[in-house]
């Protein structure tokens, strides 16, 4: 499957794909080609959609790469859902992306877009987009998926990411945990007033119209079909750049990682030669305590992966994590600039998907 030879005119290309073509960086393309190795284009449209819509296809390839990393047997011969894992009794994984709302600023318009001034408003919009994606897949499951022989009586996993704004990666786990558990951490208040950073229960979030949208998918019997949710805000083009063998010495990474000993996270700033990141870094798996067909908790267990589930034995939630788990990351490339009148060489930031 040739992802990168253009098959559509430049005017039809997604801005991210157009930027990748302009960069002509074979090291990055090698990573994505490796993710796609073994992937089956079932309807003959994948390359076209990758080049014209990009984000949904990119996320699907990342999820496929994750499944290969776990060395599970993936059957992609069925038209739907996206992946049928046949090991043991089997389970299904469907990939979906929460994209920007109509008339909202899309993810690819990063250049010059300011950091959100109000994190609560930023998270509200992300929560709504995630909840909308979950609801859409719930309707799809009820209408068709649940009737398929390879889906019946098996766990069903939704792999979701939010690419709904230019700075979507900043939401990290806040929006997804609000959508799934009705649990929210008001970092905006903490940054403004100080005090203790802690979460609280929230039943709903308001649309722009003011009408409420209920939260707490994992508290609702309507979603008992959903066994678990895989989520990552770090599976962006920056992941590809972190994993690539690109020898460019001017690539700088800034990563924020989990600090269990306080409210201030660890911050890593390093040039690429000194930066390390793995495929599973940033992946989170949330298990639904109400699931009709629970997912085996050992399937996605890994030192790089955050995982949460309810334990009946301890009558409490269990969180599997370690210090240094990736929360989000930014990448910048400094392009050489020729000296002027004997001045020393400076640099400017490159424009590329992050």
Dihedral angle at the C-alpha atoms of 129, 125, 308, 289, nearest 10 degrees? -60
Contact 308, 317 (CB under 8 A): yes
- Which residue in the block uniquely carries the two structure tokens 């020393």? 344
Q: What separation, in Å, do the N-terminal and C-terminal C-alpha atoms of the chain show?
A: 24
Which residue stretches of 37-99 are H helix? 46-52, 55-69
- Which residue in the block uniquely carries the two structure tokens 């009408």? 211
Please classify residue 226 by burial: count the beta carbons closer than 10 Å to its beta carbon, then call 0-12 exposed, 13-18 middle and 19+ buried.
buried
The length of the chain in residues reads 354
Per DSSP, 111 falls in state T
Contact 345, 338 (CB under 8 A): yes
For every one of its 354 residues, what pLDDT tens digit does the chain have, with 9 covering 90 and above?
899 999 999 999 999 999 999 988 999 999 999 999 999 999 899 999 999 999 999 999 999 999 999 999 999 999 999 999 999 899 999 999 999 888 888 888 876 678 888 899 999 999 999 999 999 999 999 999 999 999 999 999 999 999 988 888 888 999 999 999 999 998 888 888 888 888 899 999 999 999 999 999 999 999 999 999 999 999 999 999 999 999 999 999 999 999 998 888 999 999 999 999 999 999 999 999 999 999 999 999 999 999 999 999 999 999 999 999 999 999 999 876 656 555 544 454 444 555
Task: Check residue 15 and give its pLDDT.
Answer: 94
Rg (CA), the chain: 21
Residue ranges per structural domain of the chain: 10-349
- Cα separation, 38 vs 57, whole angstroms: 15
């Amino acid at each position: 499957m040739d992802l990168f030879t253009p098959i559509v005119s430049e005017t039809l290309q997604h801005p991210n794909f157009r930027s990748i073509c302009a960069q002509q960086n074979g090291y990055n393309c090698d990573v994505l080609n490796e993710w796609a190795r073994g992937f089956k284009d079932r309807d003959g449209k994948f390359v076209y959609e990758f080049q014209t819509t990009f984000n949904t296809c990119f996320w699907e390839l990342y999820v496929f790469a994750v499944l290969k990393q776990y060395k599970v047997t993936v059957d992609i011969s069925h038209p739907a859902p996206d992946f049928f894992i046949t090991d043991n009794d089997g389970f299904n994984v469907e990939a979906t992306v929460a994209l920007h709302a109509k008339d909202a600023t899309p993810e690819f318009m990063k250049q010059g877009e300011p950091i959100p001034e109000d994190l609560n408003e930023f998270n509200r919009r992300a929560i709504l987009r995630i909840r909308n994606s979950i609801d859409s897949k719930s309707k799809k499951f009820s209408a068709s998926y649940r009737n398929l022989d390879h889906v019946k009586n098996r766990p069903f996993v939704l792999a979701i990411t939010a690419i709904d704004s230019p700075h979507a990666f900043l939401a990290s786990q806040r929006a997804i945990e609000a959508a799934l558990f009705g649990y929210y951490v008001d970092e905006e208040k903490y940054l403004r007033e100080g005090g203790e950073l802690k979460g609280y229960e929230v039943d709903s979030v308001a649309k722009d119209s003011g009408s409420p949208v209920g939260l707490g998918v994992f508290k609702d019997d309507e979603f008992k079909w959903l066994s678990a949710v895989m989520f990552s805000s770090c599976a962006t083009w920056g992941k590809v750049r972190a994993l690539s063998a690109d020898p460019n010495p001017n690539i700088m990474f800034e990563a924020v990682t989990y600090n269990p000993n306080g409210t201030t996270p660890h911050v890593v700033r390093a040039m690429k030669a000194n930066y390390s990141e793995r495929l599973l870094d940033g992946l989170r798996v949330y298990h639904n305590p109400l699931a009709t067909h629970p997912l085996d908790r050992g399937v996605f267990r890994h030192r790089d992966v955050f995982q949460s589930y309810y334990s009946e034995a301890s009558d409490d939630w269990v969180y599997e994590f370690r210090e240094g788990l990736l929360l989000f990351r930014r990448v910048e490339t400094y392009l050489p600039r020729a000296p002027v009148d004997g001045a020393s060489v400076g640099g400017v930031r490159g424009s590329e998907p992050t």
